[in-house]
Chains A and B, each alone.
Chain A
Amino acid sequence: MTTQQPTYTFERAEQMGSRVHDTWVVIPLYNEESVISDVIAQVRTAFAQVVCVDDGSSDRSADLAAKAGARVVRHPLNLGQGAALQTGFDYALTDPSMQYVVTFDADGQHQIADALGMVERLRAGEADVVFGSRFLDERTKPSFAKNMVLRAAVGYTNMTTHTRLTDAHNGLRAIRRPVVEQLDITQNGMAHASELVAQIGALKSSYVEHPVHILYTDYSKAKGQSLWNSINILADLILR
């Protein structure tokens, strides 16, 4: 891995001093053919190693992701975003030089600069896990209903885990290898976000939150989780 020249590592990463080959960006992918190429191209301006876990997409997402330069791991059938994340972790762990994993959403709502900043904080030894939070500053503007649901979700997560967070269901995270090694996400559906927080809390890993900007484009709004889904998530968590 060290012999690979970062030919496609762009100025930004170099400016920030990222040794990008010790970082894998994990992107769970499910039917995002209209945006995935751009998202991967953007991510690859800063991170060389991107693994897309295609969760049984029925469109051309997986092929487009591969063309855009991501490694693609294909689930033979649709399992859910949580399962895709865990597959991405397992894949990244097979690379012995991997030190950090970044989880990133496929719909383009996350910012590369945020991800870079989070990895830099890991590199600085600030914590074992950096969670992205859209509620640390005023940049992100979720709708009123979405805001309430997200706050309720984080309230529940804080109540049931040994953590204090401001945003539990944010897809942007940066995690150090020793923690990734111990994660075992079994919630295939959307409840995985809370499960991940719970496991990190149980591991007593150190964590910090990093202010991130979530871009609510029309696309991501249309694709995003319906608020009804929060009820399903709650049921999954209680019945686990």
Chain B
Amino acid sequence: MKIVLIQLLLIVVVILTAVRLLRDRGARTQAVRRLGLMLFAAVAIWSILFPSVWNHFAKLVGVGRGTDMVLYALVVAFLSFTLTTYVRFREFETRYTKLARRLALDEAGPPQAVAGAVEEPAQAGTERKETPYAGS
């Protein structure tokens, strides 16, 4: 079997990606994801070395060619990636919103301190200028 340059390149990229993702710290919930990732990497290398395996897959599920099969798999993978990224992004957004809100509320102080006095807001305004957020 003759290894072409593109095959070498692809294998290196797949391994690097897998290693990079595996270093991601996390709890045991990530174990499944990691196993899946290793399986994916193995299949990727396998199919780089023997591109014809995709033809077998394709025939198995009734798709014409192996390249079509790869394309379909890619579309599904990309969609699920988009959705999981969206969900994770939302979680992240919720977290930093809570953090920012806590900061904002702590900085503003309790409402009782100022609500009653007419001249207080002006004072609050001048105090603000010393804080790093003023004018940002």
A residues engaging B (CB < 8 A)?
Answer: 1, 3-5, 7-8, 21, 24, 48-49, 51, 53, 56, 58, 62-63, 66-77, 79, 83, 86-87, 90-92, 94-95, 186, 188, 239-240
Q: Are A75's CB and B121's CB within 8 A?
A: no
Q: Are B93's CB and A188's CB within 8 A?
A: yes
Known: A71-B114, A186-B94. A87 touches B124 (CB 8 A): no
C-alpha gap A73/B103 in the complex (Å): 9
Partner of B103 from A21, A76, A90 at Cβ < 8 Å: A76
Number of B residues, CB within 8 Å of A: 28
B residues engaging A (CB < 8 A)?
Answer: 86, 90, 93-94, 97, 100-101, 103-105, 107-108, 110-112, 114-118, 121-122, 124-125, 128, 133-134, 136
Q: Are B133's CB and A71's CB within 8 A?
A: no
C-alpha gap A51/B109 in the complex (Å): 12
Question: Which one of B101, B111, B116 has the greatest number of beta carbons of chain A within 10 Å?
Answer: B111
Q: Are A66's CB and B128's CB within 8 A?
A: yes
Secondary structure at the B interface, as helix, strand, loop or mixed, is helix
List, sorted by A's number, 10 A–B pairs whose CB atoms are closer than 8 Å.
Answer: A3-B116, A4-B115, A53-B104, A63-B125, A66-B125, A67-B121, A67-B122, A71-B108, A72-B108, A76-B104
B residues near A4, Cβ cutoff 8 Å: 115-117
A8 to chain B: closest residue by CB: B118
Q: Are A66's CB and B104's CB within 8 A?
A: no
Question: Which one of B105, B108, B136 has the greatest number of beta carbons of chain A within 10 Å?
Answer: B108
Q: Are A86's CB and B101's CB within 8 A?
A: yes
A60 to chain B: closest residue by CB: B135
